[in-house]
Amino acid sequence: HDVLPYRSGLNMVLLLSLASCPANSSLVEYLKRYYELQEEPLEGRKPSGLSFASKLKEMQTFFRLNATGNLDQDTMQVMRRPRCGNPDSEESSGHTQGAQWHKKVITYSIGRYTKDMPRSTVDSLLKSALSVWARASGLTFVRSHTRPADITVEFVTQEHGDSYPFDGPGGSLAHAFGPGQDVAGEMHFDDDERWTATGTSGSNLLVVAAHELGHTLGLKHSRNPASLMHPNYKVVPSGANLLSREDVSDIVALYHRRHYLSGLFPRIIRNRCAPDVTFDAVSTLGDATIFFKDRCSDDFDRALFYGPITNFMPKIETRIDAAFWVPRRSTAYLIHGNTFLQPRALCHFGFPAWVQDVDAAVHIAATGRTLFFMHDIYWSFNENRRVMDFGYPKYISEDFPALNSTINAAIHKDGFIYFFVGPQVYKYDYANKRVAGVERANSWLGC
């Protein structure tokens, strides 16, 4: 290889003859891709020795190598490792970008799949990767099948339309774009790689996806080799925690610094375990359970975060009377007065004109029905046919014996309907039409 030493003052740098040394050409490409080494404006010119050496030192410093500016064996070993395609350069290497999603519910979708494993396996691994960040951040991730999503997942190869082409097997495994960019939330995996569920004979999709999701949430690369956000791929033992303490600290700093302790909510935080606590509406939303009260919403499945509904669902500034989640549409329906916040009037769903509000609503996925409760009567709506079932409304007491008070909220979980009636919750066995248990509403808040 044609490696020529050159002295400039006290600094030794390397000038590389790219035509005669393919490995050095790869090094230049590496520094251009990940450390913003600038191309020379004139054709045939070699990279500036000072510019090249400074970028090589920057790379060595990032990976905690001896920052000599010389291409030594340790540097070459780091360069050969598979890694994330996002840059490490000084302009991009803080742990957090500052950009973030200004909402707590983030949607995702999956476009082109890899042929290396069944689609159901890809779905499961991505869901597991999302849950890693959900637990740490308090965010809720909901898959969207029909609408544009915040995070989009694609398996692609080579040039694929974002000006960051993949390089075939090895090298760059995947890349992703954070909030606030023109391609915000896009997450691309190189399908020239071999993707596996374990990583024993290829790249572990769970580990790589979790790393790339960190980028879509606003995190940058970390110099810490123990961090999931370290750029180089590493094998993680099955069952091990993917997030380091640093990763957790960084995502908390990014998303919790503005949660949600002002105005009404310090009082609600203090009083959440009061024996008389009640809710206006309760609904599942993906894997989370959301509680609505006054003009605020809480997600108590992830952690105890509180805030105005506008923090949770932008552009919704009113109290919620009823809410329900239809999994097959990945859609949450919120009702205020006689209007669905789509907005559509209740009459569009088959209610008579005299119905001006509902007290509670609950969707039962197994039957495809949504039940609406108002005072002492209820309706059954067929979500598949999009019509109200014949013979309704009925008296609540006919089909739900022992429920003799106005229902404030309802939710279906694990085969039971939970009716929130004042400060109490009735666990109702819908199949056998009996109350299976009674508990206090604040028990759902960990009290």
Q: For 303-352, write each residue's pLDDT tens digit.
A: 333 444 444 454 455 567 777 878 777 677 777 665 555 555 677 777 88
CA–CA separation, 62 and 88 (whole Å): 8
| Residue 21 assigned to a binding site | no
Overall average pLDDT of the 3-12 stretch: 32
How does DSSP classify residue 57?
H
- Three-state DSSP at 389 gives coil
CA–CA separation, 387 and 390 (whole Å): 9
The per-residue pLDDT for 46 is: 54
| Residue 348 assigned to a binding site | no
Q: Both tokens of residue 292?
A: 């609505």
- pTM reported for the whole predicted model: 0.58
How does DSSP classify residue 114?
P
Which residues, 6+ apart, have CB-to-CB distance to 127 below 8 Å? 143
Overall average pLDDT of the 203-222 stretch: 95
DSSP string, 28-49: HHHHHHHH-PPPPSSTTPPPPH
Tokens 């409760």 found at: 373
Q: For 213-271, write each residue's pLDDT tens digit.
A: 999 999 999 999 989 999 999 988 877 889 988 888 888 878 864 433 333 333 444 46
Degrees to nearest 5, angle at CA 193 with 190 and 197: 105
Adjacent-strand bridge partners of 333: 324
Sorted by where each starts, the structural domains of the chain and their CATH numbers stand as 3-80 (1.10.101.10), 105-255 (3.40.390.10), 265-445 (2.110.10.10)
The per-residue pLDDT for 159 is: 93
The per-residue pLDDT for 353 is: 79
Higher per-residue pLDDT: 155 or 429: 155
The per-residue pLDDT for 47 is: 53
The catalytically annotated residue of 58, 154, 186, 212 is: 212
Identify whether 39 is a catalytic site residue: no
The per-residue pLDDT for 48 is: 53
The per-residue pLDDT for 334 is: 78
Overall average pLDDT of the 139-167 stretch: 90
| Residue 389 assigned to a binding site | no
Least confident of 214-228, 273-287, 429-443: 273-287
49 in the Ramachandran plot: left (φ > 0), alpha (ψ -120 to 50) or beta? Answer: alpha
Max distance between CA atoms of the chain, in angstroms, equals: 93
| Residue 160 assigned to a binding site | yes
pLDDT band at residue 272 under the 50/70/90 scheme:
low
The per-residue pLDDT for 41 is: 52
Which residues, 6+ apart, have CB-to-CB distance to 251 below 8 Å? 133, 136, 137, 214, 217, 219, 243
The answer, yes or no, to whether residue 431 has pLDDT greater than 70, is yes
The per-residue pLDDT for 418 is: 93
33, 167 Cβ separation under 8 angstroms = no
| Residue 323 assigned to a binding site | yes
